[in-house]
Amino acid sequence: MSKRLFAAIALVAASWAADSSVAQEADAAAGERLFRQRCGACHQIETARNGVGPHLQDVAGRAAGSVGGYNYSPALRASGITWTPETLETYLANPTAMVRGTRMVQRFNNADERAAIIRFLGIRQ
Ligand code: HEC
């Protein structure tokens, strides 16, 4: 076994022993990557800048349609939704079914990917 490989294994073993956050970190990294791939073309999260869609900084707990300077659909603005893991799950699975008239029309069909992205959005607040 190479020294470097041994060191890597020892490091992983040590961090597992210290706490079990390794899996959580891997999950957060996957969520971040998926966010960039699936949402990043339209949504910023590193900065509070609106693009095709509103920025998603601090989206967890935010009222739908409430980012200043973004031109929301009247439907989303009037929806009365607060963004929680549950409402995000429903919206991402089928936005137009939840909010008729919303301008975000993409459905995200992979439940595991949705869950990872939603956890990432929660972590980022
Ligand atoms: C093709 C562009 C596009 C993609 C890709 C996209 N969105 Fe959107 N999103 C929008 C638009 C446009 C709106 C505004 C909808 C409206 O005003 O009805 C929006 C709105 C939202 C909102 C409501 C925000 C608020 O302030 O109320 C959330 C949450 C959201 N998107 C999450 C996501 C996530 C998570 C992904 C990736 C899985 C994603 N979106 C992918 C265009 C997109």
Portion of the chain with pLDDT greater than 90, in percent: 74
Ligand 1 in reach of 110 Cβ (< 6 A): no
65: left (phi over 0), alpha (psi -120 to 50) or beta: left
What is the Å distance from ligand 1's center to 53 Cα? 5
CB atoms within 10 A of CB 111: 11
pLDDT in tens, 49-59: 999 999 999 99
Atom of ligand 1 nearest to the CA of 63: 27
pLDDT at 116 over 70: yes
More confident residue, 98 or 1: 98
pLDDT at 6 over 90: no
pLDDT in tens, 34-48: 999 999 999 999 999
What is the Å distance from ligand 1's center to 25 Cα? 25
pLDDT at 16 over 70: no
Residue nearest to atom 3 of ligand 1 (CA): 42
Ligand 1 in reach of 116 Cβ (< 6 A): no
C-alpha span between 27 and 19 (Å, rounded): 15
What is the Å distance from ligand 1's center to 9 Cα? 40
Sign for the pseudo-dihedral over CA of 66, 102, 80, 108: negative
pLDDT in tens, 85-96: 999 999 999 999
